[in-house]
Every structure is written in C-alpha cells, then in structure tokens.
Homo-oligomer: A and B are copies of this chain.
Amino acid sequence: MAMRGVLRPGFIQLRVLDMAAALTHYIERVGLEEVCRGADGRVYLKAWDEFDHHSVILREADTAGLDLFAFKVCSEDSLNSFKQRITDWGLAVDEVPAGEQPGLGRRIGFTIPSGHRIELYHEVEMSEAHPTIVNPMVWPKEPHGMGAIRFDHGLLYGPNIDKVEEFFTKVLDFSVAERINDDQGAMALWLTVSIKAHDIAFVRYPEPAKFHHVAFLLENWHEVGKAADIITHYNISLDAGPTRHGITRGQTIYFFDPSGNRNEVYAGGYAYYPDNPTRSWTMDQVGRGIFYYERRLNESFLSVVT
C-alpha cells in the first residue's frame, strides 16, 4: 500500500455528565450504534460505515470534555517507529497495554504542546456490525437518526499551536491543508494525513487541553438539512448552521450534546493531496473562512469549549 504511518483518526474518548442522556443523543440522534459497555462504565460506540471495533468512547465524569484523541497507524512497526520519533522530538511516551479497551491492542500515548493527550495504535478487532465484505450492501442495516457515516475529525483548542504544527508535520507526517496566521504565528491549523481536507484541527487558545468539537460525516447537504430538522425536533441545543465553511468547504451544522460537548455533522469538502498548496486566510477574511455564508464570526463558536 502507498499510505504509510498514520492512517486516520481512530477513536475519541469524551467525558459526559449523564450517560443515559449521552447515549440517547449519540445513538438515537447522531445515529451511532452501541458496541459494548466496559466494566468501568465506559460505553463504546461506532458509526455504521466503520470496520474497527469502536470509534467513540463515552465516559461519565463530573466535567465534560475530551479525554483523548487516538489515531490508527498502518502497522506495529510503524507504531514503534513513531514511538522513537516522538521520544526523540522530546515528548514523554507511555504505553497502554492491550485490553485497556475492549477490542483494542497496545497503544502509545503522549501529551502534545497544546495539552491534549494523543494516542496511536495499530491493533484493533473488526467490529461485528462492520460493513458487509462479501457481496456488500450499501449499508449493513438501515441508518437511523442523522445517519453518521464515520467519526471524521476533531477540533482542539490550546496553546503552542506552532509547536503542535511542527509535531504533526515533522513527527507524524501530517500536511497542513489550511491555516490562519496572525502576527503571533499560527492561529489555526487544519491538518490531514490522507486526502481528507482535515483529520484534526487546532485553534490557539490560552487554556490547554480544551475541546471544540468532534465531527461526524454525513452524505451530503440534504442530510445536513435533515440533521437540522432532528436538532430542532428534539430540542437539541444548536450552535451554528446549517452553513458552509470556507475552510475545507464543508457543509455543516454544529450543536451540543447534553453535557455541552460540541458536535458537528458535515458533508462535502475538497480532496487535499499532499502536493496541493496550503490554503491560507488573512485575518480580515476569517469570518468567511469559518462561516462562508454569514461571512462573520459567531461569538459562541469561538469561545465555548469543554
């Protein structure tokens, strides 16, 4: 295969205040499926079009937010090689043994300069509810709710974004698809490791380890509209949209889970190849970059994080 190293965002672990409410939200509304529950109370979910065991983990806690964001890499050799490169770059790397999560092999973890815990792993079991492999159907069973296709990307807020950029591009081999620079350097980065417009993104923020949103893929703008209908029908708290981003071109809507964690469901966006130029935004056009139609920023979008 031509792809090496990091393949994609593999799973995210979120803290929720009330597990029952969170499950209704992520399963009935967003459209994920429950895979299993751990002895420690964590609940493992996946989207219908994912082969791997799970992609979203919910953990009941006193505060909302992000526990960790994990990427799948292409092999154990690659994992070992990353361990060395990350250590060489100066981050402490710990090992999480296989079995800490059901279905998952050994992981390595570390804290990046924005304060977020990132993990890498290779081994993971195939989910039982995986897409059909022999004589496949378009979907293994009829999607429900918003019909989220996959856990797609996340946006994280924290300090030291210039260092985060160096880490992701030099150590993890990501590319910068889009960026906003101001006179202090990188203000926001959209990073990709295959041909998606983004796999993870960062915005400069004084407080470390903050979580802006987790995004799930939908089929198209029509499905974004149906997600909006669902959001109002069930009185889910809307943040922004339906609209489009200038950055990535994604057609999008933002809303909050019952614990206040922001979710995005989106469709579209261009294909970014690593030989493409990095798109960049000047500060006077950032409004259009974030909200292409409104062409101005929305205060809560910028400042509310968990």
Contact = CB atoms under 8 A, between A and B. Distances in A.
A3 B8 CA distance: 12
Contacts of A280: 133-135
A251 B225 contact: yes
A133 B7 contact: no
Contacts of A2: 3-6, 172-174, 193-194, 274
Contacts of A4: 2-4
Stoichiometry, as copies per complex, reads: 4
Contact of A138 (B131, B232, B238): B232
A268 interface: yes
B244 A243 contact: no
A249 B279 contact: no
Interface stretch (A11-19, A38-46, A290-298): A290-298
Interface in A200-254: 219-222, 225, 228-233, 238, 241-244, 246, 249, 251, 253
Interface in A75-118: none
B232 A270 contact: no
B174 A249 contact: no
Given A274-B7, A281-B135, A268 B195 contact: no
A209 to B, nearest CB: 25
5 contacts: A3-B194, A7-B274, A139-B229, A220-B221, A232-B288
